[in-house]
A and B are shown apart, each in its own frame.
Chain A
Amino acid sequence: GAVVSQHPSWVICKSGTSVKIECRSLDFQATTMFWYRQFPKQSLMLMATSNEGSKATYEQGVEKDKFLINHASLTLSTLTVTSAHPEDSSFYICSARDKVGQDFYEQYFGPGTRLTVT
């Protein structure tokens, strides 16, 4: 089956610094990837939709200048948390969309990246 990887799986950074998270589709090409945020014991919240070769589409309330998304190739999307603050500490999950039928798609999820900002 389709596999999505994320790197790093866990990162600690100091307040004010930036950190980049990578999301890769390992065995398929994904024109669309998604970035989610998950707080402890809560559900996944969609942050943005990442489209290869074009600008990401952010959900309401998500600061696009703070959460920079780049989808430069069909297998890689990156999320950069700029000027990180402790409240940005969270579990970030990406998914990649792949066609599974004539007219249907499925999202495959990465294992997530735990970000801790000190």
Chain B
Amino acid sequence: AQRVTQPEKLLSVFKGAPVELKCNYSYSGSPELFWYVQYSRQRLQLLLRHISRESIKGFTADLNKGETSFHLKKPFAQEEDSAMYYCALSGHSGGSNYKLTFGKGTLLTVNP
């Protein structure tokens, strides 16, 4: 079974502070990991995926297979980063078992 755990429901930081949103997963094969973001009153959208290895809006996430983690980090948080963040996992996206399993989400608030 595949499972995604986001231990923090809420995370509050000040503008300019570093932020880390934690995500741990459980999967028997080689997973694809994603971070999705949902800004207030907007639809869910992909922030980044581990295979891309890119930085989006200053956010990065590294897949640590030993710790089964995929934490999302940003060195200097901005107020516009305030949103709900979901970590998600799937099997290989080109395969027949491509189903996204979402964590429960972390609501990030960046205070001025």
The stretch from B15-23, B53-61, B63-71, B102-110 touching chain A is B102-110
Residue of A nearest to B42 (CB): A111
Q: Give the interface SS of chain A, mostly helix, strand, loop or mixed.
A: strand
State whether the Cβ of B98 lies closer than 8 Å to any Cβ in chain A. yes
Number of contact residues on B: which range applies? 10 to 19
Given A104-B93, A104-B94, decide whether A46 and B43 contact each other with a Cβ distance below 8 A. no
Q: For the complex, what is the distance from the CA of A103 to the CA of B100, rounded to whole Å?
A: 17
Q: Give the interface SS of chain B, mostly helix, strand, loop or mixed.
A: loop
Given A44-B86, A46-B99, decide whether A104 and B51 contact each other with a Cβ distance below 8 A. yes
Counting chain B CB atoms within 10 Å of each CB, which of A43, A46, A49 scores highest? A43
State whether the Cβ of A92 lies closer than 8 Å to any Cβ in chain B. no
Q: Whole-angstrom distance from the CB of A58 to the nearest CB of chain B?
A: 12
Given A103-B94, A106-B93, decide whether A112 and B43 contact each other with a Cβ distance below 8 A. yes
Question: Which residues of chain A have a CB within 8 Å of any CB of chain B?
Answer: 32, 34, 42-46, 49, 93, 95, 97, 103-107, 109-112
